[in-house]
Amino acid sequence: MKMTALPIAVCLLAGCTMSPQVNEISQEYVDARRSLHNDLTDLADAWLCRGMSIYEWRRRFNTPEKVSGWKAICADSSDFVPQTP
C-alpha cells in the first residue's frame, strides 16, 4: 500500500508545482486566439464594407432588409451605397 501511495503523492505534488506554468501557457493560448479572432473580424469587416465588387454586392444584398443591415455595419466606413435592383 505504501508503494502505491508514494507515486500518487509525488504526482500530486509535482502537479502543484507546475500549476503556474500551466496557467501561463493557457493564458498565452487564450491571448493568441483572441488576437486571431480580432484579426479575422477586421478582415471580414473590410471585405464586407469595401472588398466586394458592385455585382457581388448587388447579388448578396438584394432586399431592402439586407441593405439596411449593411448600412448599419458599414455606414461610417463607406463613401457610397450601391443601388439595389
- Sequence ranges of the domains in the chain: 1-50, 52-85
pLDDT of residue 6: 64
Q: What is the pLDDT along the chain (85 residues), one digit of tens a residue?
A: 556 666 666 666 665 556 677 777 888 888 999 999 999 988 888 888 888 888 888 888 888 888 888 888 887 654 555 555 4
Q: Among all chains, which residue has been given the C-alpha cell 463607406?
A: 78
pLDDT of residue 75: 75
pLDDT of residue 37: 92
pTM value surpassing 0.85? no
**45 contacts: CB under 8 Å, gap ≥ 6:** 73, 74, 77
φ/ψ of residue 70, rounded to 5: -65, -45
pLDDT of residue 34: 92
